[in-house]
A and B are shown apart, each in its own frame.
Chain A
Amino acid sequence: MAHEILKLKITNEIISKIDLGRLRRELSAIDDFIIQSRVRKAGQQPTLPRTSLNLEELAKSNKLNLLVDDDRKNLGLTLTELYSHAPVMRMSFASEPSPVFLKKIITWLRAEIHPHVLLQTGLQPGIAAGCVVQSNSKYFDLSLRKHFEKNRGLLTGGITMKEPSNG
């Protein structure tokens, strides 16, 4: 199954486990539709569930046909596996990030860190700027406060230069 995960190309619109869950529900709805369409008589077909752009893009990028049972089943299993085992990074920002911003971040993370990484966002208004990142077991403070702490010598030097002379 891990092999299947490695083969799956996740689009950058899928950011968090919530997105994965939504995709799984959509797949399940399609499964239900297919099953129902088989057992019902002609003229009593249920309405085709609407699929999201994310699911369509995912299927398209992975060359899957969602109307094919095997493709749908494999995609569902892969999504379930991803939901359970994909690495998750938690990032907290000073304000609510926009989808465009998150897409840029997840694009970089999947290109540089891990191709299947998921992102869980949070809010920490006290950090003013930057972010706080938490991976499996590590905590990375990438906030402006930490940046100031790193450059404390520079700040102290600036204050010393501005300090009036005693004479």
Chain B
Amino acid sequence: MQLQSYLLIIGMIGVGFGVAIALVLASEKKKAKTKQSSGATAHHTQAEAIDTNINKIFNDEFREELRNRGRLHFEKIIGENAMFLQQDLQLTTSQLNDYMKQEITKTLKEEFTKYEQSINDAKQLAIDSIAKTQKAIEEQREILGKQLDEQVASEKERVLSRFEKNMADIVNHYVLAAIGNQIDLNDQLEFILGELEANKKDIIEDIKNGA
């Protein structure tokens, strides 16, 4: 930044010096043109006079004065421009900051919106998937429950049927195992005679047929 300022100052000093020389030469050339008509001889003399006058006017002090003035003037201009430049720079920086903030905010908002949308989509997808899975599980559970109930009922029916069918054998086996050795035939006499009495008619009929 400082290097650029120095180069700018030096450039402006050079330009001012050139402008001053050009103005002096222009006035002298104007005077020479008016006197051109006086002859070629006089022309040479006049040229020398001009050079002398120029040297008188632009002596070292005057040149130094011009340099000083130019330096001061350019320093002033440079100071003013530097101030303007600083203000512009600050303004630009501020605007740039605002712009960057806005852009970043906008970009972030867009990204966050996209991100949020993606999250919402993924969330909705997961919810749908979970709902489908739950529905499938519930259906499977109902089917399995129904099958289980049917199998349990069938098995219960089968066991009950088998138990009822073989109940006499089961109870008889139990009685035989429990008190089989303790049953006396004399105690059974009444039962046996009762059963014979109940089948008496059939027995008589069979014996008669056999005889």
A155 interface residue (CB < 8 Å to B): yes
CB distance from A81 to the nearest CB of B (A): 13
Known A133-B196, A135-B203; judge A98-B185 contact (CB<8 A).
Answer: yes
Shortest distance between the CB of A86 and any CB in chain B (Å) = 9
Q: A112-B200, A148-B172 are in contact. Are A129 and B206 (CB under 8 A)?
A: no
A117 lies within 8 A of B189 (CB)? no
- Give Cα A71–Cα B190 distance, bound, in whole angstroms: 39
In chain B between 84 and 126, which residues have their CB closer than 8 angstroms to a CB of chain A?
none
Residues B196-211 near A (CB distance < 8 A): 196-197, 199-200, 202-204, 206-207, 209-211
B199 close to A105 (CB less than 8 A): no
Dominant SS at the B interface?
helix
Q: Is the CB of B209 within 8 A of A105?
A: no
Please state if A136 and B168 are interface contacts (CB–CB under 8 Å). Answer: no
With A and B bound together, what is the CA distance between A113 and B185 in angstroms?
Answer: 21
Cα-based distance from A95 to B169 in the complex (angstroms): 19
* B11 proximal to A (CB < 8 A): no
B171: chain A residues at CB < 8 Å are 148, 155
Would A137 and B167 count as touching, CB distance under 8 A?
no
User: A129-B175, A137-B209 are known contacts. Are A108 and B193 too (CB-CB below 8 A)?
Assistant: yes
Most buried by A among B191, B197, B207: B207
B176 at the binding interface (Cβ < 8 Å): yes
- Interface size classification for chain A: 35 or more
B145 an interface residue at 8 Å Cβ cutoff?
no
A104 within 8 A of B: yes
User: Count of chain B residues with Cβ under 8 Å from any Cβ of A?
Assistant: 30
Q: Is B45 engaged at the interface, CB distance under 8 Å to the other chain?
A: no
Which parts of A142-159 form the interface with B (CB within 8 Å)? 142-149, 152, 155-156
- Is the CB–CB distance between A156 and B207 below 8 Å? no
The residues of B that contact A114 with a CB separation of less than 8 Å are 204, 207
Could you tell me if B185 and A95 are in contact, using CB atoms closer than 8 angstroms? yes
Given known A95-B185, A104-B189, A152-B167, contact A133–B211 (CB-CB < 8 A)? no
Shortest CB–CB separation between residue B211 and chain A, in angstroms? 6
- Write out the residue numbers on chain A whose beta carbons fall within 8 Å of the beta carbon of B193: 105, 108
Closest Cβ of chain B to A134, distance in Å, is 10
Chain B's nearest CB lies how many Å from the CB of A96?
Answer: 8
- Cβ–Cβ contact A94 & B180, under 8 A: yes
Task: Please tell me if B130 contacts chain A, counting CB pairs below 8 Å.
Answer: no
**Chain A positions within 8 Å of B204 at CB level:** 113-114
Q: Which residues of A contact B (CB under 8 A)?
A: 85, 87, 89, 93-95, 97-98, 100-101, 104-105, 108-109, 112-114, 117, 125-131, 133, 135-138, 140, 142-149, 152, 155-156
Given contacts A142-B199, A144-B175, A156-B164, 7 further A-B contacts (CB under 8 A): A85-B211, A95-B183, A108-B196, A128-B176, A129-B191, A149-B168, A155-B171
Which 9 interchain pairs have the tightest Cβ spacing? Answer: A136-B210, A142-B195, A148-B168, A149-B168, A145-B172, A128-B176, A135-B206, A138-B206, A87-B207
